[in-house]
Amino acid sequence: MIDIVEEVPAHAGAREALLDLSFGEARLARTSERLREGLLPVFAFVALDATGKLVGTVRLWSVADRSGCQSLLLGPLAVDPGCRGNRVGDRLMRHALNQATMHGHGSVILVGDLPYYARFGFAAGLLDKVVLPGPVDQDRFLGLELVRGHLAELNGVVAAAGSLDPAVAPAPLSNGFSIPKSA
């Protein structure tokens, strides 16, 4: 039995270990990761097995173009190798997309494998006017409209549009400047 639940801070260590296992530490250098850095996700879900072990994760992040048109950036999606083939990723994806739809979001974008994500309605070629701030294989830059025509409104470079994570956000100083919390 697998339960899909909202991610809580206690899941952070297991989530990061699963992401390292699935993608390696090189994942931290990817363009999508740069967009997520220092922000809180809009949605974050994990899959827990019957023993309570975290066996899957998916997150959605807010991004926007210069005109303020917003979309959600999906990723990463990861499933424990021992659970692959049990539709854990499918359940996580469907749950995340359902929540995005129920909360009125217009679209979801991601960088991933079309053969996998097409089953959820993602397609290539919908983001020809959209640019991520870094290198991206355009064949892997996929979109899904939750509201018809929404991706046609997204144009130009998209940037992070989410809330800062207070655990990693710079601490403001009285003079208006900020310093990283690690300093």
* Domains present along the chain, CATH in parentheses: 3-169 (3.40.630.30)
**Whether pLDDT at 148 is above 50:** yes
Q: How high is the pLDDT of residue 180?
A: 39
* Chain centre distance of CA 130: 17
**Average pLDDT over every residue of 59-88:** 93
**Whether pLDDT at 167 is above 50:** yes
pLDDT top residue among 100 and 28:
100
Residues 6+ apart with CB under 8 A from 152: none
3-state DSSP assignment of residue 142:
strand
Phi-psi region of 84 (alpha: psi -120 to 50; beta: other; left: phi over 0): beta
Rounded to two decimals, what is the model's pTM? 0.85
Phi, psi of 122 (to 5 degrees): -70, 145
Question: Which is nearest to 74 in space by CA: 18, 141, 149?
Answer: 141
